[in-house]
Chains A and B, each alone.
Chain A
């Protein structure tokens, strides 16, 4: 069952098209990574899902309910953490957490206390004195202390130190183990790689790639390092071979997944002495799409 469904959602601000027929489906119980460069439309999509922005066209539902019309109903089961958390300077962190929790339902006092300790947040300080990371912790504690079934996290770790990032990752894994659904927008790719079951890449308001990391890897290139008995002169010209770099005694290059069989046959003709392969990282995937974006812009 899909918890989030967006069908052909378009959002236009004046002349700027922020979302362009975006299709997105997030299944129940999965952690979905939502990646893309700044300005690609990640936050706009999340704000449409929260019912803050009204889609110009298309339909979006959460739990099968319309995100605009049934916003309040949906929000009872949703926790949202924005990337840039703005709080009221005159309230303390503890007051804000309680306010948030009570606007949603019941406060789980034990969970709250436990999360405060894990995130090392002093709830008696005024929000005025909190750093960006501490404001983010306030929102994270409020979110993870709630009984939400869906977590919408919009770049939630941009101000956290590596230690706190780790705790955040544990929290996501815990809610996942409870069978809850998470939409994690991020551009910290290692984090997405570590946490997410499926990944969607958004560019210029459209979802251009979506699937499990394994599926996406098939679509893309493997990094190979080879040493052969006889030298390969024409490697650069081979179909499906990219980014050829000579090493001390061989070559390093990227190979298209669909050409892999042919490439391997040609390689063995030269007598493989040593071969190493590495799966593409999410960063490679992302950079490939990102480069295409910039290339198409230059055209």
Chain B
């Protein structure tokens, strides 16, 4: 196709849009919805300048700055608050969207062999890549405009037209930046998973590096934009320019490789299993290792972010009646100490999620016809279920501990009179019997009605609602007691109730024995 380097680009772009328009729509609806829902919520929670200034105070610590970046804390208008707290987080969502879509259009198509079919047609070598860039440029442009117009149409005083437009434009620019990075990664790696992995590594690397120095693109540049206060267009232009460089690099790299190949050698794995992988429990762990590590980091970071605001909580409560009504009033302990059980309860609910996911992994394995490899060999059902149970229970215990560790670490740096680690850890680990009970309920469902394991999520959510919002909406006490989390002692402001903890564990053991018995007596599907 000499002389027609771009032939087919428009047709291919139309083809991509036709295939993926629903996917684009859901991404856009999600990200735009998430953006537009926040300003009214903030306006509700912090209606006056005084409220916002208190919030600005709690933001003045290294942990928060590492997470969301610098902001115009001196003049913390609603707009400044939104762009300070939301822009970076939304940009990460936009980056993820671009990474996944770009790999889908490029390396994944090549891997599945569709690219080969297309390229045998009279279509230039670079057309598919360029069509993918065109399409994603369109998606990001649409995202930027809709967010800009959407934010402006909320018509808050501090959120003007130019601020709103630059807010949207900076998100679109970060999106294009990562579309470009991913286009390059798709040339480097031989597999679509490899390309996604590489792009995500770069994204996380950029995010972490940004907390060290603010001049690392794209997130460091993004936080310099400061919509609604500085409205600095320079970083946006910089990001767009860098995106173009990435795209050019991707095209050049593609011109120098064969179809289906990559620049990074594909690593071959082990020819032999390690000692650990030679037992059902080793397999159960191996299959969940990545998820476990990600959740551990997540819980630690969540603990850190909760802990970092502890220091300013006391002053914050005095000015926020809504939050104050959500916790038990007690003259003997500080408000911060009274707030601790609630923070810990929230962290415990979130810690339950990976533990339940871990035991539910067994259901997925059965559906994918993979348990039969184990049960068809000398592995009993009890051994199999037991392996997943051990991993799940340990996951629950460690997640509670990691969140406590994070909260304590950040708390010691931000509080004048910090909690000791045992205090924090006990307040967290006191939820362990309730977590085990939730795991036991899942085990019962796996034994009796494995198709219904999803119900445990509803039950967990019920427990969260009654406990978290129970105080606010004055729910009757028995509603709380329908969830195992209603029996957890509120350490450190209450005494430890060993009876209810023991009771929960006893119930859990009964449920576990029953669930295992049912599991050994039912048909294995798949």
Contact = CB atoms under 8 A, between A and B. Distances in A.
B523 A52 contact: yes
Given A50-B375, A75-B377, A84 B271 contact: no
Given A95-B269, A103-B374, A126-B269, A88 B523 contact: no
B288 to A, nearest CB: 11
Interface string A85-109: 0111011101111111011110000
Given A94-B270, A125-B268, A72 B521 contact: no
B31 to A, nearest CB: 29
B18 interface: no
B287 A104 contact: no
A124 interface: yes
Given A72-B378, A124-B271, A125-B269, A52 B278 contact: no
A71 B523 CA distance: 13
A51 interface: yes
Nearest to A122: B268
Contact of A92 (B271, B283, B373): B271
Contact of B270 (A95, A104, A128): A95
Given A84-B369, A100-B377, A90 B287 contact: yes
A105 B378 contact: yes
A297 B431 CA distance: 61
B227 to A, nearest CB: 41
Nearest to A124: B268
B370 interface: yes
Interface residues of B, number: 32
Contacts of B119: none
Q: How large is the interface on A (under 10, 10 to 19, 20 to 34, 35 or more residues)?
A: 35 or more
A88 B370 contact: yes
Contact of B273 (A51, A54, A94): A94
A80 B380 CA distance: 15
Interface residues of B, dominant DSSP: loop
A98 B272 contact: yes
A134 to B, nearest CB: 14
B3 interface: no
A126 B40 CA distance: 49
Contacts of B287: 88, 90
Interface string A53-79: 110000000000000000111011010
Interface string A151-171: 000000000000000000000
A224 to B, nearest CB: 47
A123 interface: yes
A50 B269 contact: no
B11 interface: no
A82 interface: yes
Interface string B364-405: 000011101111111110000000000000000000000000
Nearest to A94: B271
Nearest to A89: B193
B21 interface: no
A122 B270 CA distance: 11
From B273, B373, B377, name the one whose CB has the most chain A CB atoms within 10 angstroms: B377
Interface string B266-285: 00111111100111100100
Given A52-B372, A82-B369, A98-B273, A72 B380 contact: yes
A54 B521 contact: yes
A2 B373 CA distance: 25
Contacts of A126: 269
A52 B268 contact: no
A171 to B, nearest CB: 18
A90 B285 CA distance: 13
Nearest to B369: A86
